[in-house]
Amino acid sequence: MSSYGCVLVGRNDDYGENLCERATYSLNSMISELDSVVYVDWNTEEGKPSLIEEISEDLIHSGKLMWTKISPELIRYLTPRDPELQKVCEVLSRNIGIRVLQTDFIVSTNIDIVCPDRNLVERQNSTSRMYTAGKRNIPMEIFRTLGNRHNPAEYKSKLKELESSYGQQPVVGVCEGDIYSLVSGCGDWQLAHKDIWYTIRGFEERLYKRMRADTNLHRKTHIFGYGIGIDWELPVWHINHGGGSGGGGGENDIFLSVFMNETTNADTWGFSNLNFDWNIL
C-alpha cells in the first residue's frame, strides 16, 4: 500500500485572522488521514513561538508531525540576494519540506485546508501525473458549527452534507496560451508521486515572489513528460479568512511563470546541502 504525506508552510503571525484556529482544524485533519505531515515555520519573528508551539496542546500527538523553525536570522543567511523576500517564501519553504518527506506520494497544501478522507486521496495514485483540485471555500463562522476542532471525524462527517452547496472554481488561464493554470487560484492542493517531485526538483526557486508558482509547477511537470490534471470531485475544503499582503517583494512575472524554458533548480534545491533541526509531535 502506498504512503501519503503532506507539506504545509506558514508563520505565527495570525495571517488572515483566526490562523491558530484554522491551522488546528487543518493539521488535525492531515494527521488523522495521512502517514506523515511536515510543517515548515518560515520567518516567525524572533522571540515568538512557532505556530506549532503556539497550538501544540490542541494538536493530535501521534508522532506523524515533523516541524522545523526557519528563523529570520537563518533566512538572512540563506537568501542574501533579496532582503525584501516575502514574509513567508512559499517556494523555498515548501521545497525544504518536500526534501524531508519520505512518503510515496507528496501533497503540497496550505495551513487552512481540511484533508479529504484517505480513501478519496488514494484515488490520486498515478505515478505519471500531478493532480490538483478545485477547492471549496467555507466561511470560518460555518466551520465552527460543524464540530470540535480536536475531532476531525466529527467535523469532516458534517462537511459531506455540505458538498452539494459549495461550488468549485472554474478552469482559467492567467494569459493567452496558458494551459497550466488549471484552477482559479492555486487550489491549495498539488499531489504527485515522490519521483515526479524529484525529477522536476520541486517548486521553481527563481519564482520566490507572490503568485503563479503553482502554475509554473504544472508547466514543469508537463515539460518533463508527466500528465497534469484536476480531480473535481475531491472535496478539498478551504476555511475562508481575511486578506493579507503576504509581505513585500512584489509578484512573479506572468510570462516567466508560464513560458520560461529553463525550469530546473540546482541539485541542492530545498537547501538539501544544509541540516535543519526537526521536531516530532
Query: Is residue 245 very low, low, confident or very high in pLDDT (cuts 50, 70, 90)?
Result: very low
Residue 136 resides in a domain: yes
What whole-number distance in Å separates Cα of residue 102 and Cα of residue 279? 16
Residue 171 to residue 190: CA distance in whole angstroms? 15
Question: What cell does 192 get?
Answer: 504527485
Would you say residue 272 lies in a domain?
no
Which pLDDT score is estimated for 210? 84
Distances in whole angstroms, Cα of residue 260 to Cα of each of 153, 207, 226: 43, 11, 17
Chain-centroid distance, C-alpha 236: 12
Question: Which string of DSSP letters, residue by residue, matches 226-272?
Answer: -EEEE-TTS--EEE--------SS-B--HHHHHH-S-----TTGGGT
Domain that holds residue 87: 4-262
Which percentage of the chain shows pLDDT scores above 90? 70
Mean pLDDT of all residues in the chain?
Answer: 91
At 277 the pLDDT is: 97
- Please report whether residue 149 resides in a domain: yes
- Using pLDDT thresholds of 50, 70 and 90, give the confidence band for residue 80: low
Highest mean pLDDT among 165-169, 201-205, 211-215, 244-248: 201-205
Out of 146-155, 165-174, 193-202, 255-264, pick the least confident: 165-174
Cα angle value 168/135/102 (rounded, 5°): 145
Residue 119 belongs to a domain with what CATH number? 3.90.550.10
271 domain-assigned: no
Query: What's the first-to-final CA gap in the chain, in angstroms?
Result: 24
Does 278 map to a domain?
no
Angle at 65 between CA 160 and CA 159, to 5 degrees: 10
How far, in Å, CA of 51 to CA of 182, rounded? 31
Spatial contact of 97 and 65, defined as CB atoms under 8 Å apart? no
Residues 89-142 have pLDDT tens digits of 999 999 999 999 999 999 999 999 999 999 999 999 999 999 999 889 999 999
pLDDT at 68 over 80: yes
Q: Does 215 map to a domain? A: yes
Whether residue 249 is predicted with pLDDT greater than 80 in this model: the reply is: no
- The candidate with the shortest Cα–Cα distance to 153, out of 261, 79, 60, 260, is 60
| Highest mean predicted confidence (pLDDT) among 147-156, 164-173, 181-190, 247-256 | 147-156
Counted domains in the chain: 1
**Model confidence at 183, in pLDDT bands (50, 70, 90)?**
confident
Q: How many CA atoms lie within 13 A of 182 on its CB side?
A: 23
Q: What confidence tier does 147 reach under pLDDT thresholds 50, 70, 90?
A: confident
Q: What is the mean pLDDT of residues 207-230?
A: 92
Sequence-separated contacts (24+) of 150-159 with Cβ below 8 Å: 150/24, 150/28, 150/58, 150/60, 152/25, 152/28, 152/29, 152/32, 152/33, 152/114, 153/32, 155/25, 155/114, 156/29, 156/114, 156/117, 159/114, 159/235, 159/237
In a domain, 253, yes or no: yes
Is 270 contained in some domain? no
